[in-house]
Every structure is written in structure tokens, then in C-alpha cells.
């Protein structure tokens, strides 16, 4: 059993005022592998502590009432030693006990010396953390645990241009039976039942995620981070030399954060989804010397609504020219790479000749076309509706303010990079391995974009930098069944896409990548793909098991296969553990559109024959299909 403690804040206490201007400490414990609880790994995060080489320690007791009672830690410039009450260990899963020397049973942790560490936001590690759990903190596993697997795959849409991509994957895991209720067709929540405590299965989740991460890292020669988040906590893994604790660049996953910000203003009565977008955007455009929406996109732009922008149905042209069809020419990428230190403001993007063309691609609301420009315009709308005068004064992190502090503080590594390059926010280098502009995708490691400022050029369309654990948690804080949510129930359902559309409100319908039967409870999935220069990612919420998965990779490939393959593999591996049922999948298809995660759920009901037949486009299990056919 591996357990994670929650972080606790101690601030303002007079007796600590000279030492602790602010303390944020997160602790994680894990038995050392192969030691039957005879040792522990620890992880901690400390902010606001002075540097010291003094190795003396102070200890305090943890009350047995739960995870929020960590007391008076890291006192007087020392490295912390925490003594936890052993009496609660059999009943409170937040407390870990293991035998100490001499047979004494207790729970002990030390974070490590603060010497040679920054006093602000410094990560201190002892040993290697191997588990993450608790809804208050996620910690990355770093060891590899072997599990068996079977091959599989899936097909998902491209996060930049809305096209579909192909993947392949493997499956592993099994465990005690758990049943999860499917979501209702109206998007309302359904309650889960018989869900086991996270601590009962978390080590198994960790093992299968580590297996997936290692396989993807080996296959694609890249770094991978994977994080799973549920109501009671989560698990995480990293491979290719990277960790889910390390911030990644998430590209278009940013759009989900922007969509949540918009809906929070709807909740507050400051924005009407079907009102005029121009009324809220034009004041910002005028400050940028861009005139108005009409000036940029023609008279029809006056009919664009915030909903049109958030659902990619406005007709606004895309500033991003990274579309693999009909050719791999990408003029904007060439411009970004030619001037790697150039910053791109919203004005720079909207002034591109193919964007400010004086016309829309179609009448608003009549069609769908993936365009990141929609979310740049939403950024201007959000800034104005929030009362900001300048576009870059809008605080994107403000969407987290709705969460209680105990939850909000976990996002301390979530950053929105309004300016700068990835090197200013993360140690993770990103590599462009695409075919755009004549580049050879087989030339490894690819073009290093770590110092390219244009990676963040999309602002509210693509400037998120965060660890995988934060992104998985965010998805759960939007969609999950339990806990305080970022949105009201009325606005949350807006972000649940309908079955008939690939893209909803800042959200892709990712159900077809699950490999599960569309007639069963585990088919549905929604979230977002992320792609920017050198980095590709994916986050999805699976309502059938009330869990979110986030995948981050530090390469960019033509069809974004690696995050989608990892997602398909990881979801079905986790699902096997949840439902205690073996899932066998194979990868089929060769083209851009015809590749699929085939887990045997490839049947359709042939109306003419009145019988079920296998079909590449089929999404039903044989049993579900026969029930469907029986109704006709």
C-alpha cells in the first residue's frame, strides 16, 4: 500500500513569523520495493523556507482525524521529521505505518536537508517516489514495474487542425471488481457505486501507467508523462528521463482552461453565450489598433457569438498553418523558426494576411472548422469582460479561484506563458519531428524548440505549461463526480460534447478512441488534444469510471500518434483493473483516417440483412449490436 499525505499551509502564526513567511509542504510515502514495508521513499515541496546546512530535525505528531491535520513542520530552518500516529493506520488510509528499528511501529518521514535548495518553490526528494494518491496531492512514480500486455490502438483528432490521427497501444492489468454507472444522455452526472478506495488499487494503476510510459518512450524515442486522477487521488508515471512532476508544454489543451474561464463569466452573469462577441472584443481590438471584428472579418462578424468561438463554428480563419492536408507547407512555422526570439501578441496573430482577410470562411453557426484564432479572440473577450484594460493583464490562473485553497494550492506549477520560451518555464526540451516545410521526420532527435518564443504564440489558445498531474486534476475538477468543481452544473454540461459532433465547447469528443463498445458504459470520453511546436499531448475524462488521464510527450509528429497511443493503452489498462475483465485489443488500419483501436467492438447492425456484421467503422460489441438489431 502506498499512501500520499496532503499538503498543509502554516502561515501567519506568530511563533513562526520570523521563520515561516509561508509554508506549503506536501508529503508522499511509499514502501521501498521488495522490502515488505521495511523502508520508505519521501517527496516534499517547501516554499518560503530559508536555506541551511543544519541537519538537526524537529518532529510533530499528526492527528488521526484525516489528511488535513499536518502540524507545525520544518520549524526553525531544519529539515523536517514527521512522526505520525500509528493508532490510526488501520482505519485512515492517509497514514502509512511501517516497522522501525527494534520492532517499534510508527510512521516516519524526512523531507531532506534544505541546503543548496532555493527557498522558494523548490522540490526536495529523498529516494524515488513510487506512488501518488489522495485528492490533495499527486506525486510521480519513477520506478518501472513489469506487467503483461496485449496490443491495441485508436484514432483521435488532431489538436491543432481538427483532423483525425492514428495510434496503436497495449493493454495490461486486472483487479477487484468495480462497477461504474454510465453518463446519462443529457449530460447530467450519474453516481458511481462500488468504487474501491484508491489506496487499494493505486499501486496497480502506477504499475500499468509506468508500463505504458516506458513502452511509448521506447517506441518513439521521446519523454512521456502520464497521470491518472480520480475522486480519491491518482497515479502517475514518467519515462524517457522525464517525470509527471516536471512541467510540460501543452499547446491546445489550453483551450479547455479558456473555455472554463468563459463559462465562469457566464455563471457570474458577465457574458451571454449567445450574445454579441464583438461588443466584448472590439474595445480590446481598438486598443491594439486593429479596429473591429467587422474590419478584420467583414460584416458577418457582427453575428459571431461567444458560443460560436468556443465551438469552432465562427468561420474565423486559423492563424496556425500546420495542416497536413493538402500539403505539408507551413508558412507560419517557417516565420516562427526564422525569428526564434520574436514574441507574438494577439495583434501579431490577427494581423496575419490570411487571418485579417476581411471575410469569414463561412457564415457563423453554419459549419465547423478548427481554428485557434477563435481562442485568441476569446482571450480578448475574457480580458475585457473581467475589467482589464490591457490584454496581457488578464490572469488566466484566476479560473482556479473557485476551488478551495486546499485544492487550489496543488496547482502551484501551473503556468500560463504570456511571453518567453519553454526554457523559461520548464527543463523539458521539445523536438519537432514533422514533415513540414521539407523537414526530415526521421532525423533524430528533431529540431529543438526549447528556446523558440513562438511556441507560446497562441496565448489563450496554447500557452499552458504544467505537470501532467495538474492537467489530469484539472480535467477532474471540471468533469468529476465528487468534490468542489470549477463550474456550476448548468455550465459544466455545456462542456460535454454531443455524440453527433467531434468538437463541442472547447472540448473534443474522444469517445471513438476508447476502443470500447458504444453501446456500453465505458465508451464515452471527452477532453482535448494539445499540439504546439515540439510538444504533443492529450487529456481526457472518462465518465464511465469517473477518472481523467493526461498524457504529455516532448516531440511533435505529423499525426500525433504517440499521445493517442498512450491514451488508448493507458485507459484500457486502467479499465481492466476497474472492471476486473481482460481486454484484448489489436491495432488495425494503415491510413490517416482508417486506423482504429480494435478491442472486438467493431460491429454494426446491417439494416438490409437485419444482422450484425464486422465493419472497420463499427463501434458496437457483438452482444450490444445484437441487442440493437433486435430492436429494429
pLDDT in tens, 130-162: 222 223 233 232 222 222 333 333 333 344 544
The residue-averaged pLDDT of 572-593 equals 77
Rounded Cα gap, residues 193 and 102, in angstroms: 43
| pLDDT 10s digits, 238-249 | 999 989 999 999
Alpha-carbon distance of 562 to 219, in angstroms, equals 9
Averaged pLDDT for residues 447-463: 97
Q: How many domains does the chain have?
A: 2
What pLDDT, in 10s, does the model give residues 415-451?
999 999 999 999 999 999 999 999 999 999 999 999 9
User: pLDDT-derived band of residue 585, with 50, 70 and 90 as boundaries?
Assistant: confident
pLDDT digits (tens, 9 = 90+) for 494-536: 999 998 899 999 999 999 889 999 999 999 999 999 999 999 9
Residue pair 509/495 in contact by the 8 Å Cβ criterion? no
Q: How far is the C-alpha of 473 from the C-alpha of 497, rounded, in Å?
A: 20
For residue 116, is pLDDT > 90? no
Distance CA 481, CA 220 (A): 35
Q: Evaluate whether 433 touches 557 at the Cβ level (below 8 Å).
A: yes
Q: Is the pLDDT of residue 88 over 80?
A: no
Would you say residue 549 has pLDDT above 60? yes
Q: Residue 584: which pLDDT band, with cuts at 50, 70 and 90? A: confident
Distance CA 631, CA 261 (A): 43
Beta bridge pairs of residue 528: 539
In a domain, 103, yes or no: yes
Sign of CA dihedral 568, 570, 571, 577: positive
Q: Which residue has the higher pLDDT, 21 or 289?
A: 289
Using CA atoms, how far apart are residues 534 and 516, in angstroms rounded to an integer?
31
SS3 194: coil
Task: Reply yes or no on whether the pLDDT at 114 is more than 50.
Answer: no
C-beta atoms surrounding 39 within 10 Å = 14
Is the alpha carbon torsion for 329, 335, 339, 344 positive or negative?
A: negative
Distance CA 453, CA 336 (A): 8
CA distance 267 to 387: 16
pLDDT at residue 495 in the model: 97
In a domain, 629, yes or no: yes
Closest CA relative to residue 247, chosen from 63, 65, 464: 464
Is the model's pLDDT at 402 over the cut of 60?
Answer: yes
Q: Is residue 606 part of a domain?
A: yes
**What average pLDDT does the segment 489-495 reach?**
96
Q: Which of 82, 108, 126 is the last residue of a domain?
A: 126
Which of 412, 417, 429 lies closest to 470 in space, CA to CA? 412
C-alpha cell at 176: 477487484
Which of 58-72, 83-97, 590-604 has the largest mean confidence? Answer: 590-604
CA torsion 386-467-168-229 (nearest 10°) is -80
Q: Where are the alpha helices (DSSP H) in 460-507?
A: 468-479, 489-492
CB 414 within 8 A of CB 464: yes
DSSP class of 365: T
Report yes or no: 371 and 314 within 8 Å, Cβ to Cβ. Answer: yes
* pLDDT score, position 276: 97
Q: Rg for the chain (alpha carbons), in Å?
A: 25
Residue range 323-341: average pLDDT? 89
- Which domain-ending residue is among 126, 141, 168? 126
Last residue of a domain, one of 126, 149, 172: 126
Instruction: Specify if 94 maps to a domain.
Output: yes
- Residue whose C-alpha cell is 499521445: 563
- Sheet containing strand 224-230, edge to edge, reads 233-239, 224-230, 547-553, 535-542, 526-532, 508-509
Q: Supply 9's cell numbers.
A: 499551509
pLDDT, tens digit (0-9, with 9 covering 90-100), for 180-216: 334 444 444 444 445 567 777 888 999 999 999 999 9
Res 309 pLDDT > 60: yes
Q: Tell me which of 20-34, 215-229, 293-307, 587-601 is least confident.
A: 20-34
pLDDT above 70 coverage of the chain, percent: 67
Per-chain mean pLDDT for the chain: 74
pLDDT at 588: 64
Residue 58 within any structural domain of the chain: yes
Q: Which domain holds residue 113?
A: 3-126
Chain centroid, CA 233 distance in Å: 15
Q: How far apart are CA 519 and CA 303, in angstroms?
A: 39
Average pLDDT over residues 25-48: 28
Residue 115 in any domain: the answer is yes
> Mean pLDDT across the stretch 276-298?
97
Inside any domain, residue 315: no
Residue listed under C-alpha cell 535548495? 117
Q: What is the pLDDT of residue 45?
A: 29
**For the stretch 416-439, what's the b/e string if a residue is b when 16 or more beta carbons lie within 10 angstroms of its beta carbon?**
bbbebbbbebbebbbbbbbebeeb
Residue 388 has pLDDT above 80, yes or no: yes
Cell numbers for 137, please give them: 496531492
In a domain, 219, yes or no: no
Amino acid at each position: 500500500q502506498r499512501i500520499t499525505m496532503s499538503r498543509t499551509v502554516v502561515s501567519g502564526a506568530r511563533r513562526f513569523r520570523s521563520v515561516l513567511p509561508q509554508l506549503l509542504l506536501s508529503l508522499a510515502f511509499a514502501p521501498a520495493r521488495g522490502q515488505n514495508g521495511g523502508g520508505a521513499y519521501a517527496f516534499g515541496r517547501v516554499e518560503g523556507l530559508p536555506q541551511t546546512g543544519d541537519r538537526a530535525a524537529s518532529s510533530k505528531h499528526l492527528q488521526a482525524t484525516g489528511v488535513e491535520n499536518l502540524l507545525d513542520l520544518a520549524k526553525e530552518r531544519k529539515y523536517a521529521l514527521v512522526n505520525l500516529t500509528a493508532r490510526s493506520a488501520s482505519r485512515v488510509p492517509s497514514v502509512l505505518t511501517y516497522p522501525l528499528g527494534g520492532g517499534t511501529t510508527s510512521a516516519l518521514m524526512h523531507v531532506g536537508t534544505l541546503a543548496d535548495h532555493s527557498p522558494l518553490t523548490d522540490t526536495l526528494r529523498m529516494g524515488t517516489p513510487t506512488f501518488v494518491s489522495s485528492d490533495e496531492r499527486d506525486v510521480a512514480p519513477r520506478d518501472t514495474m513489469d506487467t503483461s500486455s496485449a496490443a491495441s490502438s485508436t484514432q483521435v483528432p488532431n489538436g491543432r487542425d481538427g483532423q483525425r490521427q492514428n495510434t496503436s497501444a497495449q493493454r495490461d492489468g486486472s483487479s477487484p471488481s468495480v462497477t461504474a454507472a454510465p453518463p446519462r444522455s443529457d449530460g447530467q452526472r450519474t453516481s458511481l457505486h462500488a468504487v474501491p478506495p484508491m489506496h487499494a488499487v493505486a499501486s496497480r494503476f502506477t504499475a500499468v501507467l509506468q508500463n505504458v510510459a516506458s513502452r511509448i518512450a521506447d517506441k518513439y524515442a521521446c519523454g512521456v508523462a502520464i497521470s491518472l486522477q480520480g475522486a480519491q487521488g491518482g497515479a502517475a508515471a514518467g519515462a524517457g528521463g522525464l517525470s509527471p512532476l516536471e512541467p510540460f508544454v501543452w499547446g491546445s489543451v489550453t483551450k479547455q482552461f479558456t473555455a472554463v474561464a468563459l463559462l465562469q463569466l457566464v455563471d457570474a452573469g458577465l457574458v451571454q453565450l449567445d450574445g454579441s462577441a464583438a461588443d466584448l472584443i472590439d474595445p480590446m481590438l481598438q486598443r491594439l489598433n486593429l479596429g473591429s471584428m467587422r474590419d478584420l472579418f467583414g460584416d458577418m462578424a457582427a453575428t459571431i457569438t461567444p458560443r460560436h468561438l468556443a465551438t469552432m463554428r465562427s468561420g474565423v480563419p486559423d492563424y496556425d498553418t500546420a495542416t497536413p492536408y493538402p500539403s505539408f507547407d507551413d508558412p507560419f512555422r517557417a516565420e516562427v523558426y526564422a525569428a526564434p526570439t520574436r514574441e507574438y501578441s494577439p495583434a501579431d496573430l490577427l494581423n496575419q494576411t490570411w487571418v485579417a482577410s476581411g471575410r469569414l470562411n463561412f457564415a457563423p453557426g453554419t459549419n465547423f472548422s478548427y481554428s485557434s484564432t477563435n481562442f485568441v479572440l476569446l482571450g480578448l473577450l475574457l480580458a475585457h469582460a473581467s475589467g482589464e484594460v490591457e490584454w496581457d493583464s488578464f490572469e488566466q490562473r484566476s479560473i482556479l479561484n473557485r476551488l478551495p485553497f486546499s485544492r487550489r494550492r496543488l496547482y502551484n506549477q501551473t503556468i500560463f506563458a504570456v511571453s518567453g520560451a519553454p526554457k523559461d518555464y520548464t527543463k523539458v526540451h521539445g523536438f519537432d519531428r514533422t514533415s513540414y516545410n521539407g523537414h526530415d521526420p526521421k532525423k533524430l532527435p528533431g529540431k529543438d524548440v526549447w528556446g523558440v518564443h513562438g511556441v507560446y504564440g497562441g496565448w489563450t489558445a496554447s500557452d499552458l505549461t504544467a505537470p501532467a498531474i495538474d492537467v489530469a486534476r484539472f480535467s477532474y475538477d471540471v468533469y468529476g463526480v465528487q468534490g468542489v468543481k470549477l463550474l456550476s452544473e448548468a455550465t459544466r454540461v455545456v462542456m460535454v460534447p454531443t455524440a453527433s459532433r467531434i468538437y463541442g465547447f472547447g472540448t473534443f469528443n474522444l469517445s471513438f478512441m476508447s476502443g470500447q463498445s458504444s453501446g456500453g458504459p465505458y465508451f464515452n470520453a471527452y477532453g482535448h488534444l494539445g499540439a504546439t511546436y515540439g510538444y504533443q499531448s492529450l487529456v481526457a475524462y472518462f465518465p464511465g469510471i469517473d477518472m481523467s488521464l493526461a498524457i504529455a510527450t516532448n516531440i511533435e509528429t505529423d499525426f500525433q500518434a504517440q499521445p493517442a497511443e498512450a491514451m488508448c493503452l493507458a485507459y484500457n489498462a486502467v479499465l481492466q483493473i476497474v472492471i476486473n475483465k481482460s481486454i484484448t485489443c489489436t491495432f488495425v488500419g494503415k491510413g490517416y483516417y482508417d486506423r482504429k483501436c480494435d478491442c472486438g467492438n467493431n460491429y454494426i447492425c446491417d439494416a438490409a440483412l437485419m444482422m450484425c456484421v464486422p465493419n472497420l467503422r463499427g463501434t458496437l460489441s457483438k452482444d450490444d449490436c445484437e441487442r440493437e438489431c433486435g430492436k429494429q
